[in-house]
Structure 1
Amino acid sequence: MASLAVIILTFNEELHLARALKGVAGIANEIFVVDSGSTDHTKEIATQYGAKVVEHVFTNYAKQFQWALDNCPITSDWIMRLDADEIIEADLAAEISRNLPNLPNEVVGINLKRKLVFMNRTINYGGRGILVLLRIWRRGQGHIEDRWMDEHMVVQGGTTVTFNGGFADHNLNNLSFFTDKHNRYATREAVDVLNQRFGFMPREESLSVEASSYQAAIKRFIKEKVYNRIPFEFSAAGYFLYRYFFLLGFLDGKEGLIYHVLQGFWYRFLVGAKLVELTLTIEGMRDSQAIAKELAKQTGLRIEANFPRLTASKSS
């Protein structure tokens, strides 16, 4: 029988964690909850469900997850990445249990089809329906991309397959939490775009199509090579109109309208505005250490130039 370890990163996730743990209770041999200083009952809930709790200071998701891969005492054959607000539904759990032991050796990764539930409504349109994400891989054959945003799992040494069972992203927090979270995301994404331009931190520049999916690779290419080169005051509005009308986002009802406006326009506009703001704060700087230090000061993020003092050159 194949064995499976599940890794969940947490910070104040008492609202979601028990639900996530119940979803994998019947398929996971090991569960590691990597916490970054929760002040609620997250760690107690994890312990109650038999998870091993490990604490580590958070820099960004990619670094935290890679730290977990490198430091958790994982012995299982396979590893699953799961967010605390995600749900492995019963049919997917059964599919994993049934198929995982029978996969040929050349299969090193498994994609899952994740749906989005927002304000208790499944979002089916606007390009935000099913996302195909690589979430299970053979131990020792996967790592997470070193990026501040839009990080994906990358596997090597074989091929991937896709399971079809129910997998959902269903956050139960209110809109204040949603906007606060996306405000923080906007800061991180603006830093990531600046790093793409100035190269003051290491960053994986490409996504292996074999490792994840054509869907993710195409979206990243369009975002980085096309969207990010258009002035944000036009790109944000154009993106929302494309999603809401051309991709039929209006069919998602009132909840869909709220989601597509906030995530498809407001968030994209905010990223652009923060990018302008942060660009002004580092105007004239070319030294990577100085850029990293100033951005850390302005954003409160743990930004460090992870190599010696270098002259940063702007790229198109």
Structure 2
Amino acid sequence: MPNSYFSFIILTYNEEFHLPRLLSSIQSLYAATYILDSGSTDGTVVIANGFGCTVKTNAFVNHPKQWHAALAAFNIQTPWVVCLDADHTASPELVALLAGFTGKGFEDVNGIYFNRKNIFKGKWLRHGGYSPFYLLKMIRFGVGYSDLNENMDHRFVVPGKTVIWKEGYLIEENFKENHIAFWISKHNRYSDLVAAEEWERMLKMRSQTIKPNLLGNPDEKKAFLKSIWWKMPLYVRPFIYFFHRYFIQLGILDGKQGFVFHFLQAFWFRLVVDIKIDELKKGQKQS
């Protein structure tokens, strides 16, 4: 019998390797599943159709805009939607939580955070601020929306009350990123988006949608930390961030894979962003 409480929305682009894993993990929930594809050239759409998913295509600009398009593209018939990326899978414990979800007791709730388990090169990153790591992934349809004030860090926004499901995991493992060339190329593109976004914030062209609050929900805490980050001096902050993640938050305990990830994500990526912001500043002065 079809699930009448929630539907799944998934973003894809050339995900023939990841998509069967995700769809198999949620298949027992019998929930309507909608996929917004970015123009895959592999077997992604064939696989989605094979699992009975409804598929539409939309040209990709960035993740926040793609999620905005996804929430508007489909005729959702359930009060809740679960929004996932193709490299996610739901742990059995998370599936059990979803299987028992009827909306009862959640009448005053508009969003539910899932606990993400991030796996890099086969290793679960349990330190460096990456566990626990809560993502707002289940939202009341028509109430929650994609935050278009971000270029790269896509997140959903809901007014009112949210809750956190600490049990179970949304497992994120992108096998493409096991090849470091792919990871670097991907994050080089992301650094363009982040640098442009931060430059626009410096010019007062953007503001945070979510109110910063160190004692608030996970996204309000992130908004608070970002408000500090944006005030820190370029070129200095990548060193501080890496030191904090690797030594203070014990990323050093994540072994070889942890060193590679924390160094690249916390230092290299942030340094490249700062260099590109500096280039944008110099470009404006010269124009």
TM-score (norm 2): 0.91
2:192 aligned to which of 187, 210, 217? 187
* Bigger shift: residues 161-170 or 46-55: 161-170
Q: CA deviation at 1:228?
A: 2.5
Aligned-partner Cα distance in 2 for 1:108–1:218:
18
Aligned to 2:153: 150
Work out whether 1:22 is the aligned partner of 2:27.
Answer: no
Amino acid at match of 1:94: A
4+ residue runs over 6 A deviation = none
Aligned-partner Cα distance in 2 for 1:28–1:183:
38
Aligned to 2:6: 4
Query: For residues 130-182 of structure 1, what are the alpha-carbon distances to aligned partners after superposition, in whole Å with 9 as ceiling and x for unaligned?
Result: 211111122211101112122321112x4222222121111111222111111
* Alpha-carbon contact 1:3-1:28 (below 8 Å) kept: no
Distance 1:209 1:111, change over 3 A: farther
Query: For residues 102-131 of structure 1, what are the alpha-carbon distances to aligned partners after superposition, in whole Å with 9 as ceiling and x for unaligned?
Result: 333112221111111111111011112221
How many residues align? The count is 279
Aligned-pair identity (%): 33
**SS at 1:260's partner residue?**
helix
* Alpha-carbon contact 2:64-2:153 (below 8 Å) kept: no
Q: CA deviation at 1:284?
A: 6.5
Alignment of 1:65-104 (within 5 A): 65-104=67-106
Alignment of 1:277-316 (within 5 A): 277-283=279-285
Aligned-partner Cα distance in 2 for 1:42–1:70:
21
Aligned to 2:236: 234
* Alpha-carbon contact 2:22-2:86 (below 8 Å) kept: yes
Aligned to 1:177: 182
1:207 aligned to which of 203, 206, 210? 210
Q: CA deviation at 1:280?
A: 2.2
Work out whether 1:270 is the aligned partner of 2:266.
Answer: no
Query: For residues 175-201 of structure 1, what are the alpha-carbon distances to aligned partners after superposition, in whole Å with 9 as ceiling and x for unaligned?
Result: 22111111111111001101212245x
**SS at 2:175's partner residue?**
coil
**SS at 2:14's partner residue?**
coil
1:13 aligned to which of 12, 15, 19? 15
Q: CA deviation at 1:229?
A: 2.6
Q: CA deviation at 1:10?
A: 1.2
Aligned-partner Cα distance in 2 for 1:3–1:215:
25
Alignment of 1:106-125 (within 5 A): 106-125=108-127
Query: For residues 258-312 of structure 1, what are the alpha-carbon distances to aligned partners after superposition, in whole Å with 9 as ceiling and x for unaligned?
Result: 1111111111111111111222223366xxxxxxxxxxxxxxxxxxxxxxxxxxx
Q: CA deviation at 1:21?
A: 1.1
TM-score (norm 1): 0.83
* Alpha-carbon contact 1:4-1:28 (below 8 Å) kept: no
Q: CA deviation at 1:218?
A: 2.1
Aligned to 2:46: 44
Q: CA deviation at 1:11?
A: 1.2
2:201 aligned to which of 187, 190, 196? 196
Q: CA deviation at 1:220?
A: 2.6
Amino acid at match of 2:181: S
1:218 aligned to which of 210, 216, 221? 221
Aligned-partner Cα distance in 2 for 1:88–1:77:
20
Q: CA deviation at 1:209?
A: 7.3
In structure 2, runs of 5+ residues without a counterpart are: none
